[in-house]
Copies of this chain bind each other. A is one copy, B any other.
Amino acid sequence: MKSLQKVLDIIDKVAETRRAGIRELSSMTGFPPATIHRIVSTLVQRRYFDQDPVTKKYSLSLRFLELGSRVQQQFNLTAIARPHLERLMAETKESVNLAVRDGDEMIYLDHVRSDYSLLQLFTRPGVRVPLNATGVGKVFLSKMSNPDVNSCLERTQPKPRTPYTLTDKIGIQEELSRIRTKGFSIDNEEFEMGVRCVAAPVFDHSGELVAAISISGAAVRISQEKIDHFGKLVKRCSLAVSRELGFDGTNEIFINQEKGD
């Protein structure tokens, strides 16, 4: 389906640039303006795109917000987790997030913002973050086999986001084995300076890892001593969600479950 490929290229480019004109899209994609115009005007007619009447530039319409909302609903995980996330926020006074893996990235499904903290990590549902530099991502890495982890790192070629970001294989392997022992992961200013996270896994009825829950907040408030306490709380919360999904084990299936190569 060659023409559809072009359509999706255009949608991707418009999403990247937020708003773009026909000529602009033409030079980015290499398709002639007439082709772009035909595709884009169909998208406008079907209300998938908006066209600014004065600048003539095109942008994604609210239709995508609507469709995204549908997708979020389909994950009844979100509905199940909500009350637990709110309780965890109340217990810790820190923001709480729910994320799932999508390919080589994590994608946030939901979050409960702390009313107490001023510093907020930007985790709107739909935002993507790397696996290696986040608490939720490392939870997923820790459940993968060593070769899988390596090939994932190969593919994504993670760049250090802060001086603390782990990017070398050996460092990451050590970190993952620590996570498997403790049952929760820590992001110690590895994604954003000044922000620490503590994250734990959510399993479904079959014991499959389906999501991760994290507490995130200013490093000044999440001291080293607090981390173990928060780890306990986030594990309890994620276990409660797992239970509602029909999981009958414990978080401790992590322990001593080193993934070999």
Contact = CB atoms under 8 A, between A and B. Distances in A.
Interface of A: 1, 3-5, 7-8, 11, 15, 18-19, 38-39, 41-43, 46-48, 59-62, 64-74, 86, 100, 102-103, 107, 109, 115, 124-128
Given A5-B42, A65-B71, 16 more contacts: A1-B3, A1-B39, A4-B43, A5-B46, A7-B7, A15-B67, A60-B67, A60-B71, A61-B71, A62-B102, A62-B107, A65-B109, A68-B68, A69-B125, A70-B126, A72-B124
A65 B62 contact: no
Most buried by B among A38, A66, A68, A100: A68
Contacts of A74: 18-19, 59-60
Nearest to A68: B68
Interface centre among A8, A19, A61, A115 (most CB of B within 10 A): A8
A42 B4 CA distance: 7
A126 B59 contact: no
A67 B70 contact: no
A47 B103 contact: yes
Given A15-B67, A107-B62, A39 B4 contact: yes
A66 B126 contact: yes
Contacts of A60: 67, 70-71, 74
B102 A15 contact: no
Contacts of A67: 11, 15, 60, 64, 67-68, 126
Nearest to A35: B1
Contacts of A48: 8
A109 B107 CA distance: 20
B15 A70 contact: yes
Most buried by B among A18, A43, A65, A107: A65
Nearest to A5: B42
A1 B62 contact: no
A243 to B, nearest CB: 23
A192 to B, nearest CB: 18
Interface centre among A7, A69, A115, A124 (most CB of B within 10 A): A69
Contact of A65 (B5, B86, B126): B126
Nearest to A42: B1
10 contacts: A1-B38, A3-B4, A4-B7, A15-B67, A60-B74, A64-B68, A64-B70, A64-B71, A67-B68, A86-B115
